[in-house]
């Protein structure tokens, strides 16, 4: 009887999910309710988790409940500790969910709501979740080894070095693009700049509080910090209206970019307890609080999506970034669908905490489902805006012109009506001087969130909600920025240590300063170019980030596929091989177009050529001519980087195929590095429930 009831419930979930997916896919009216998106996503997640993740656990990875995990065998009370599954879930989710799933979907909304939404839902359940779960499983079976170590063990020195280079490269590109997003959100916005700047002293105060004033009182200190952050948002309104203070915090992009570089450098060399740790606490609470609030507001308010399902920009002439729907939607939305970066977390702290292998689906697969859901909410927040407003905020001056009337006329001509007056009154409501050409995704997401929060919890405080949303995005972008710079510094010190062992000493000041400066110079360069680029920079940097992230995912999936084949699971190896193949296709296609496309909005080399031609024929305005030589060099640098990324990915995939071929033809290969089975003795109640 119970079995029939369960089957009926799952049948019902399938039917509801299928009709919701059908609804959003086939709907061609004026607007569609956001609840359809939530329903579609939740039903697909439920089915995928109940059936696919369970099948993966029992048939493909063959999880073994009787096997002792590294947390049990190597329990030392600190990094290896058997921990309750929901606590591990919380840590893992907090680590994987960064600003990526908020920005990618916002940018990809230029194609309409449909392509991004479908990719977020299905990319996650078939690709991203499988990758996270596979790497978590493999690392748990290998004493919590990192992705780089596993690559070296299973694929050899080449795979290991490629994984190391890829990780370092992705870090540099990621930080620069995130820096650019923050700069664009703060540019000429005294309110936003003040609020973001205030997060630094607040974090310092919280750091001192939990280290010295009341040692170990983490929650108390965090509550104090969150309270102060909210005060800072309110105080920003005062700063904005104060004539002198207004001038202090009203800065142009370049000044802000230099400030961010200085901040990143300082954060990388300061002790973690001062800035990094307290900021991380604050950003985690803000993130979880705001995302939950957004979910509640969407369910309460049930807003209508105003963006059409598809826009004409799928043909490749979109204002936010150039390129056709295929492959660019898959590159633009990396986090939220599949993100290689997660493989670093799944092979980091998490496998050292899992008390039993049976929790791997919950933590590996489940956390990624939740991140995918965050991306769906970002998509909703971006598409509840009038499309005309959305494009006016996100189109750079290089595309629509810097004059308000001309810009709105151009966007209206695309078929998305918007007026200069409408934009001005919106900016006024949000407490901003202008909302034109605020590229990067953060401001339009903030406008979307502010309008959702405003309608659900009180319209009167739109400006407050807007700056709250900006602060919320900026605080964890800056957390990723300083944590990333620090990790980059450690990686560089490690690499330099091979040449001169003294450099690897993480507390030797000259090495610390030198390696921090090199890392900051690396991302600072791309950030600088992004700021001076009249086309907004996001157009170039975000696809580069997408390629880097997908390349890392390809490395992770290649490792997993190779191990599956060597573990006599050839017939099931498609679970990682198919997502791998898809990533190889989209990454290679993107890279190819980025290198050879004659369209100057896509091809790096074509753009460089056109720019140098215009420069030689004196066709550029003096302003543009002064930055053109730097832009030309940068376009060539980008082309080289794209080529290196793609070649690295191919090297690893071919290396994996070679290893598999040798294994299948009974030639010697490196043995599996799995630790031997030891019986788990843990069955205490607290671990189980």
Partner 1 sequence: MLKKLLLLWQGIRHLSGDDAYERYLLHHHVQHSQENIPVLSKAEFFKRWQDQQWQGIKRCC
| Interaction of residue 510 with partner 1, rule CB under 8 A | no
Chosen residue from 38, 41, 60, 97 binding partner 1 by CB under 8 A: 97
| Interaction of residue 497 with partner 1, rule CB under 8 A | no
In the region spanning residues 21 to 60, those forming contacts with partner 1, defined by CB under 8 A, are: none
- Alpha helices in 534-621, H assignment, sequence order: 538-566, 574-596, 604-616
Cα 477 → chain centroid: 10
Give the residue with the Cβ less far from partner 1, 349 or 588. 349
Number of helical (H) and strand (E) elements in the chain, helices listed first: 31, 2
Identify which range of 80-88, 255-263, 397-405, 434-442 contacts partner 1 by CB under 8 A. Answer: 80-88
Identify which range of 1-9, 62-70, 94-102, 251-259 contacts partner 1 by CB under 8 A. Answer: 94-102
Q: How far is Cα 178 from Cα 538, in angstroms, rounded to an integer?
A: 10
Q: How far is the CB of 285 from partner 1 (least distance, A)?
A: 9
| Interaction of residue 684 with partner 1, rule CB under 8 A | no
Q: How far is the CB of 168 from partner 1 (least distance, A)?
A: 12
517 near 509, Cβ under 8 Å?
Answer: no
Chosen residue from 9, 11, 79, 296 binding partner 1 by CB under 8 A: 79
Q: CB neighbours (10 Å) of residue 37?
A: 25
Identify which range of 50-58, 238-246, 268-276, 391-399 contacts partner 1 by CB under 8 A. Answer: 268-276
- Alpha helices in 29-144, H assignment, sequence order: 34-47, 54-55, 70-73, 85-96, 100-108, 113-123, 129-140
| Interaction of residue 73 with partner 1, rule CB under 8 A | no
| Interaction of residue 216 with partner 1, rule CB under 8 A | yes
Q: How far is the CB of 281 from partner 1 (least distance, A)?
A: 7
Q: How far is the CB of 100 from partner 1 (least distance, A)?
A: 4
Chosen residue from 22, 25, 59, 215 binding partner 1 by CB under 8 A: 215
Q: How far is the CB of 681 from partner 1 (least distance, A)?
A: 14
Beta strands in 158-208 (DSSP E): none
Token look-up 């921090």 returns: 516
| Interaction of residue 515 with partner 1, rule CB under 8 A | no
Identify which range of 10-18, 78-86, 188-196, 238-246 contacts partner 1 by CB under 8 A. Answer: 78-86
| Interaction of residue 624 with partner 1, rule CB under 8 A | no
Token look-up 């970034």 returns: 321
In the region spanning residues 243 to 262, those forming contacts with partner 1, defined by CB under 8 A, are: none
Q: How far is the CB of 146 from partner 1 (least distance, A)?
A: 8
| Interaction of residue 504 with partner 1, rule CB under 8 A | no
Chosen residue from 272, 397, 433, 620 binding partner 1 by CB under 8 A: 272
Q: How far is the CB of 617 from partner 1 (least distance, A)?
A: 41
Identify which range of 30-38, 198-206, 269-277, 291-299 contacts partner 1 by CB under 8 A. Answer: 269-277
Q: How far is the CB of 78 from partner 1 (least distance, A)?
A: 6
Token look-up 């590159």 returns: 331
Q: Which x/- pattern, by CB under 8 A, does the window 138-167 give for partner 1?
A: --------x---------------------
Q: How far is Cα 611 from Cα 615, in angstroms, rounded to an integer?
A: 6
| Interaction of residue 218 with partner 1, rule CB under 8 A | yes
Secondary element (H or E) of residue 163: helix 157-186
Instruction: Phi first, then psi: give them for residue 673, nearest 5 degrees.
Output: -100, 25
| Interaction of residue 512 with partner 1, rule CB under 8 A | no
What does each C-alpha distance from 100 to 332, 375, 384, 400, 480 come to in angstroms?
10, 8, 20, 26, 10
Between vectors from CA 306 to CA 305 and to CA 310, what angle results, nearest 5°? 95
566 near 158, Cβ under 8 Å?
Answer: no
Chosen residue from 219, 296, 521, 654 binding partner 1 by CB under 8 A: 219
Helix axes 34-47, 113-123, angle to 10 degrees: 20
Token look-up 């309460």 returns: 300
The number of residues that bind partner 1 (CB under 8 A) is 49
Q: Which x/- pattern, by CB under 8 A, does the window 344-383 give for partner 1?
A: xx--xx----------------------------------
In DSSP terms, 67 is beta-bridged to 679
Return the CA Rg of the chain: 25
247 near 502, Cβ under 8 Å?
Answer: no
408 near 392, Cβ under 8 Å?
Answer: yes
Identify which range of 118-126, 475-483, 519-527, 597-605 contacts partner 1 by CB under 8 A. Answer: 475-483
Encoding tokens for residue 392?
A: 């006016």
- Tell me if residue 304 falls in helix, strand or coil: strand
32: DSSP letter: E
Binding residues (CB under 8 A) for partner 1: these are 77-79, 84, 86-87, 90-91, 94-100, 146, 174, 178, 210-212, 215-219, 222, 272-273, 276-277, 280-281, 334-335, 339, 341-342, 344-345, 348-349, 479-480, 483-484, 487, 545, 549
């Amino acid at each position: 009887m119970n079995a029939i009831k369960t089957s009926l419930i799952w049948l019902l979930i399938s039917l509801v999910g299928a009709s919701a997916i059908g609804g959003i896919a086939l709907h061609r009216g004026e607007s569609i309710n956001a609840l359809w998106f939530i329903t579609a996503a939740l039903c697909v997640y439920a089915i995928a988790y109940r059936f696919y993740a369970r099948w993966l656990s029992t048939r493909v990875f063959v999880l073994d409940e009787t096997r002792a995990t590294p947390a049990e065998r190597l329990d030392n009370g600190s990094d290896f500790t058997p921990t309750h599954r929901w606590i591990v879930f919380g840590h893992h989710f907090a680590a994987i969910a960064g600003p990526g799933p908020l920005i990618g979907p916002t940018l990809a909304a230029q194609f309409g709501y449909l392509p991004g939404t479908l990719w977020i839902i299905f990319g996650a359940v078939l690709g991203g979740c499988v990758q996270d779960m596979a790497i978590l499983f493999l690392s748990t079976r290998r004493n919590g080894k990192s992705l780089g170590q596993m690559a070296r063990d299973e694929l050899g020195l080449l795979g290991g070095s490629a994984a190391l280079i890829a990780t370092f490269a992705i870090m540099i590109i990621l930080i620069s693009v995130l820096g650019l997003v923050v700069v664009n959100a703060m540019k000429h916005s005294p309110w936003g700049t003040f609020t973001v700047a205030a997060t630094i002293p607040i974090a310092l105060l919280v750091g001192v509080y939990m280290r010295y004033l009341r040692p170990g009182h983490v929650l108390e200190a965090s509550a104090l910090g969150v309270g102060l952050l909210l005060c800072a948002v309110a105080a920003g309104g005062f700063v904005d209206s104060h004539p002198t203070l207004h001038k202090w915090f009203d800065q142009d992009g370049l000044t802000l970019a230099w400030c961010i570089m200085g901040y990143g450098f300082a954060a990388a060399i300061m002790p973690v307890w001062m800035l990094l740790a307290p900021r991380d606490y604050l950003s985690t609470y803000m993130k979880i609080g705001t995302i939950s609030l957004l979910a509640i507001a969407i369910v309460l308010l049930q807003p209508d999506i105003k963006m059409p399902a598809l826009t004409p920009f799928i043909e490749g002439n979109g204002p936010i970034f150039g390129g056709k729907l295929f492959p660019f939607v898959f590159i633009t939305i990396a986090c939220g669908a599949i993100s290689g970066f997660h493989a670093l977390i799944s092979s980091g702290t998490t496998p050292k905490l899992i008390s039993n292998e049976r929790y791997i689906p919950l933590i590996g697969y489940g956390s990624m489902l939740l991140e995918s859901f965050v991306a769906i909410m970002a998509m909703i927040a971006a598409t509840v805006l009038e499309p005309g407003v959305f494009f006016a905020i996100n189109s750079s001056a290089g595309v629509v012109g810097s004059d308000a009337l001309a810009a709105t006329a151009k966007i209206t001509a695309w078929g998305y009506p918007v007026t200069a007056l409408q934009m001005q009154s919106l900016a006024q409501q949000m407490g901003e001087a202008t909302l034109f050409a605020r590229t990067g995704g953060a401001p339009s997401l903030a406008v979307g969130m502010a309008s959702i929060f405003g309608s659900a919890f009180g319209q009167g405080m739109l400006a407050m909600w807007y700056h709250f949303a900006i602060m919320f995005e900026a605080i964890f972008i800056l957390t990723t920025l300083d944590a990333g710079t620090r990790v980059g510094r450690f990686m560089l010190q490690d690499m330099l240590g091979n040449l001169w062992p003294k450099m690897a000493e993480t507390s030797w000041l000259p090495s610390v300063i030198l390696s921090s400066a090199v890392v900051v110079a690396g991302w600072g360069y791309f950030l600088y170019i992004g700021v001076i680029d009249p086309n907004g920079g996001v157009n170039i940097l975000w696809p580069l980030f997408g390629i880097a992230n997908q390349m890392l995912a390809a490395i992770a999936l290649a490792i997993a596929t190779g191990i599956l084949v060597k573990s006599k699971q050839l017939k099931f190896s498609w679970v990682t091989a198919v997502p791998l193949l898809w990533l190889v296709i989209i990454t290679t296609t993107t890279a190819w177009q980025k290198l050879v496309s004659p369209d100057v909005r896509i091809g790096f080399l074509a753009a460089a050529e056109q720019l140098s031609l215009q420069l030689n024929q004196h066709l550029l305005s003096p302003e543009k001519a002064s930055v053109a030589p730097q832009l030309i060099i940068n376009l060539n640098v980008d082309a080289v980087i794209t080529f290196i990324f793609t070649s690295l990915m191919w090297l690893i995939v071919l290396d994996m195929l070679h290893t598999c071929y040798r294994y299948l033809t009974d030639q010697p290969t490196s043995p599996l590095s799995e630790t031997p089975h030891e019986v788990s003795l843990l069955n205490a109640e607290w671990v189980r429930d």
